[in-house]
Structure 1
Amino acid sequence: ELTRCVEHTPRKRPTMAQRQLQRPMSTSSSGAPSLRKFSTSAAAVTEDDGKHTPYGEDGSGFYSEATKGCYDVIANAKPMVIEALDRALAARRATGAAAQNAVFTVADFGTADAGTSMPLMRDVVQAIRAAEGPMTPIVVAYEDQTENDWNSVFRRVHGILQGADASFMDAGDPRVFAHAVGTSFYQPCFPAGTLDLAFSATAMHWLSTAPGSIPDALHSACTQDAAALAAYEAQAARDWQHIMEQREKELKAGGQIVLVNFAKDEDGQFLGRSVRMEESMHHTFSDIWKELVTPEEFLATNFPNQYRSLEATVAPFGTAIPSLQVVHAKTELVECPFYNSFNQKRDGYEFLNDPAGHAANYVPTTRTWSNSTFLAGLSKTRPLRERQALVDELFARYEARVATQPGHHAMDYTHAYVHCEKPLP
């Protein structure tokens, strides 16, 4: 089933020259990922540090400003989230939590700068307040990695970020609270039995580590190497079960979780590759990167993430994690709003008759999440400025290809949408 994205016209992007003045946030002088080891009584995992470093100016809200398609992906999840919320509210009525005005806690895992989920969080807070009345304290807790752009999160939530969507805090409700958790979702992030509703979109495809190099591609979704693919699938399965074991503990009995994860569907569609597109984004990245770097650097450039199948996504639920039960699960494609705005001649799009302007407008949505992976793959014998210039050149060449053939390039989204419940006893 293909679902068209809601009409969300992208706004003007800075030019490539302007973007080259921006620097990736939290980049070390070496640009090399290190290892972080977290150990608790509940979990122990070694996780690559720097595998996904935010790109853009700290506190600018650049991620959400550039990543318009994720608004549509999350809007597509709203019916599933509303059903999950209804079930969570019913569980609170059954346990007496609603009558006792117990805290209702919502968690957004992998929030980035909190922009793409803000319309949904606002609707969720309003629905909770309508259902339980004015006395229930409501906590919206944002989770992401320590080096996340937390400045943008706080500025957005508190209505300081210019041009941002309305926040759930704008109404001035004294019993609505915003919290932040700078702990990896590979670790326990909340006390056991405290979450009523959990949500995560386009975040949990990131692996704790890349299990090895990929000889013929940059991403496991593109490889024809059976051993490399098997290694990534095995790592993804271990990591996914580990992440979900933490979430199961954090949910209350009757709690709900909605997961929107990048996927590879039965038609072979995945991020940037769909049946309607002539070109595949990840394959194009690979072709350009080979032109720019040494064979050793190409082999060292691996996206440490996995676009799981729907079957792999639901595999732990009801089996390895018996107390999490699947309510609904599906894959859907959401079309790239940049491509549609240009190629379908949508009113209000600034670059309707400007292929070069359209390309400059579109390309940042592919860079916000990938820049640090390319930077990390380059030899540390190169000066940092040279490494940054090579990554700039990659995106400049990609932009040129899009400008030449704007009808061939898009970042369509394929996701697994999964709703799970931790049933009442």
Structure 2
Amino acid sequence: MATIAMLFVAANINVLARRHALSGSFFIYIGRTLGPFAGVMAGWSMIAAYLLTAVAVVISLGIFLGSVLAQLGLAALAPPAWILAPLFLALVGYSAYRDIKLSSRIGLYLEGLSIAVIVLIVAVVTVRHGSGAGAPPLASVNLGGVSSALTFAVFSFVGFESSATLAKETADPRRNVPRAVMLSAALVGLFFVAASYFMVLALDGDSDIIAKSSSPFAEITAHAGMPWAATVVYAAAMISGFACALASINAGSRLIFSMGRFRFFGSGVGTVHAEHRTPHRAVLVGVLATLAVTLALLPLSPIDAFGDAGTVATFGFLVVYLLVCIVAPLDLKRHGELKARHVAVSAVGILLMLFVIWGSLYPVPDYPMNLLPYLFLAYMLGGAAWFLYLKRTAPQEFANIEHDLEG
């Protein structure tokens, strides 16, 4: 269901990506159609989404590293999170600051290696201990559970659209960005569905084992008599974590950079490094904000901190995905290119996003997860208050935002 939803969102993103090859894409896509306030709120939402994704990844690094060391009998050597997080983010920040082409290729190679390792291990485990008779029937799935889980299923996809934020640094962006967005959603969905199916199959259909474990791959490989394989998988996940954090900081910094150039933030973050041609100050702001939130979450358990950051990040993405589905046909209508199929794709995308948003709110999660929507709402109200303050105290800056978004 998440895969289908993301494919419809991707189709709506691509309508806009083919028309507007711009840095900070979502802020501008939405602002040019729904006005400066909607555009600024979309950019504000997406910044939180990308940076909180980076926070969740930094926290997951500690979880994966702990799993690797535990498998090796070296759990006592796990470094504390307050040391690990700054070191990890320093490496990510330097890669983002140095060169977008280099950092993109590093991310691609590392992610490819991680996926290859996971595919290999899942294949070996399934061949050795899988049983077709053990696969659970679809009828046994609880719809309420599925709707609640959809928020995190969508979180597993987020970032598939981030190539749109790099349009100014992409060759032939009107062709390559839409292709990257759609292929990312499709291939990621295929990978997740297949991996989920074969993981359950490897446990002879007993999916409760996965649901109740904080180290599901360890359960699967132990069930197959291959406990050593879990170490390899979690090492691969650490590699993947670096790639994901780097992609999140790259995308988030481009939005900060774009909104700085549009004067929503200080103009200093809207500058480009003279040699590396990267938004170095926006990268620094993104890294420091990510580090601050990560350190603030350290008193929580790693699993709870990861869940909290990931859930709030997903709210940020859902808001923008919903707005993109609304804006795409309006943009086409404004330019006289709207067709019935565009309306249909938009309508389905809107309904799917509303369903995911509803599933994240009802059934009401247990405390303190039930507070997270209000935390996100407070963040959004803070951005709205800053926009209104800027409009009242610096009308010329506000006029510049309106003028630029009309371009």
Judging by fraction of residues, say which structure has more strand.
1
Which of 1 and 2 has higher RCO (CA within 8 Å, sep 6+)? Answer: 2
- Per the normalisation by structure 1, the TM-score is 0.29
Judging by fraction of residues, say which structure has more helix.
2
- Per the normalisation by structure 2, the TM-score is 0.30
